Structure 1
Amino acid sequence: MNDTATLDTNTARLDAYGVLIEPATLKIERLLPGPVERIWAYLTQSELRRLWLASGDMPMKAGAPFELVWRNEELSDPPGKRPEGFPEEQRMESHVIEAEPPHRLTFAWRQGEVSFQLTPKGDQVLLTIIHRRISDRANTVMIGAGWHMHLNILAARLSNRKPETFWDGWSRLRDDYDRRLPA
C-alpha cells in the first residue's frame, strides 16, 4: 500500500480516505466535532442517523435485530443523479453484535460486519469505522466511496454546513477509490 493510502490517527482529517487493513477489511477514520455523546447519538438514534446514513430503530442489545433503510436522495439538496442500478430506497436486515455506549458499536448485515469506535480527542472525537468481510474488490470500491461520502455528510451536519450533493460526491469518490485500492 502506498503512503497516500495510509492514515495516522494523529493526522485524521474530515476528508481522509479509507484503507484496506486486510484483503476484505476497510478502515476509515474521521476527526469530528464532539463531544463523544453527540457522535454516539448520530450513530444510534434513527432520526439523527437518517440525516447522514440510514434510518431504523436500533436496540442497544447484543443479538437484537433491526432494519436499516437508506434513502440517499434525502441526504442532500439537490440529491444529484442516482447512478443506474441503485434503488431509490434500500433496506437491510441487521443485528447488533456489541454495544458499549458511548464508545463502541458493532453490527452485522449481509455486506459484512461494521464496527464503530469513538475516541475523545480534546473537543473532537476520532471515529474509526472498520467494515469486515467485504465480498470482492468491486464492492470494496463502492463501500469505500459510500462510507466516505456518508461521513462527509455527517461532518457537514455536525459543523452546520450544507452537505455536498450525495450522488455526485459518491460518483467522484468511487473513481478515487478505484484508483487508490490495490487491484
Structure 2
Amino acid sequence: MADTLVADTITPQMLRFERDLAAPIETVWQYLVDPELRARWFMGGPTEAREGGKLGLTFNHQDLSDGEVPNPERYAKHQGKAWSETILKIEPPHFLAFTWDDGEAGEVKIELFAFSPDRTRLVLTHSRLRGAEDARNFGGGWGAHLAVLQKRLAGEPVENFWDLHAEAEKRAAQAVGL
C-alpha cells in the first residue's frame, strides 16, 4: 500500500481516519453504497441511498479475509447479525453520514475528495463516542476495515482481517491510554 496517507486522530470522543485510496472517486463511492462491494471491506446490506433511508449492515467478518479465517471467540456471537442505520445526509459521490446504534454510539461521516483521476482521499469521522472503550472498539474496527478497503482498491490480498483488527485496536487503545 505504497503512497497512502495514514492520518489518525483518536480521542475518547471522536475518531478521524484519513486515507488516500488507489481508485477514482466514483469507484470508492460504489464501495460505500453498493451492498456487495461494501461487504468486501466492511458490512453489506440493503441500501436506501437517500436522507432518512436505511443503510443495512450484516456482520460477516469471516468473509473479509481471502482465506479461511474464523471470527475470534469474542466476535463469533455477532456472526450473521443484521441491522440498519439511518442515513443522515448523502451527496453522491462526496459525502455520506449515518447513525451508529441508532445514534447511541454516535454518528459516522465519510467524505471523499478526488485529488487526481485515479486517486481519492477518504476522511472518516466517527463522533459522539461514549468514552475510551468506544474509541478502542470502534478505532480497531474502522482502522481494520479501512485497511481492507485500501487493499481491495489496490488489488492486494487480505490475508487475515483479524490481524489487521488486532493491530488497529492496539493503536486505538494506546491513543486513549487503555
Q: TM (normalized to structure 1)?
A: 0.84
TM-aligned CA deviation for residue 182 of structure 1: 4.4
Structure 1 equivalent of residue 134 of structure 2 = 139
1:18 aligns with 2:18: no
CA distance in 1, matches of 2:14, 2:124: 10
Structure 2 equivalent of residue 89 of structure 1 = 80
Conservation of the 8 A alpha-carbon contact between 2:6 and 2:20 = no
Q: What are the equivalent positions in structure 2 for 1:30-45 lying under 5 Å apart?
A: 30-45=19-34
Q: In the superposition, relative to structure 1, how do residues 172 and 79 fare at CA in structure 2: closer, same or farther (>3 Å)?
A: farther
Conservation of the 8 A alpha-carbon contact between 1:63 and 1:97 = yes
Q: Which amino acid aligns with 1:137?
A: A
Output one character per residue of 1:11-30: Cα deviation in whole Å (capped at 9) or x when no partner: xx63725213x641110010
Structure 2 equivalent of residue 10 of structure 1 = none
Structure 1 equivalent of residue 160 of structure 2 = 165
1:64 aligns with 2:53: yes
TM-aligned CA deviation for residue 145 of structure 1: 1.3
CA distance in 2, matches of 1:173, 1:79: 21
Q: What are the equivalent positions in structure 2 for 1:43-122 lying under 5 Å apart?
A: 43-78=32-67, 80=69, 82-86=71-75, 87-110=78-101, 111-122=105-116
Q: TM (normalized to structure 2)?
A: 0.87
Q: Which moved more, 1:122-131 or 1:77-86?
A: 77-86
**Secondary structure class of the residue paired with 1:60:** coil
The runs of 5 or more residues in structure 1 that have no matched partner are 1-12
CA distance in 2, matches of 1:80, 1:168: 10
Q: Which moved more, 1:133-142 or 1:40-49?
A: 133-142
Fraction of identical pairs, as percent:
29
**Secondary structure class of the residue paired with 2:43:** coil
Q: Which moved more, 1:101-110 or 1:64-73?
A: 64-73
Output one character per residue of 1:65-99: Cα deviation in whole Å (capped at 9) or x when no partner: 24211211100033545333312233232111111
CA distance in 2, matches of 1:177, 1:25: 11
What CA RMSD, in Å, does the superposition of the two structures yield over aligned residues? 1.9
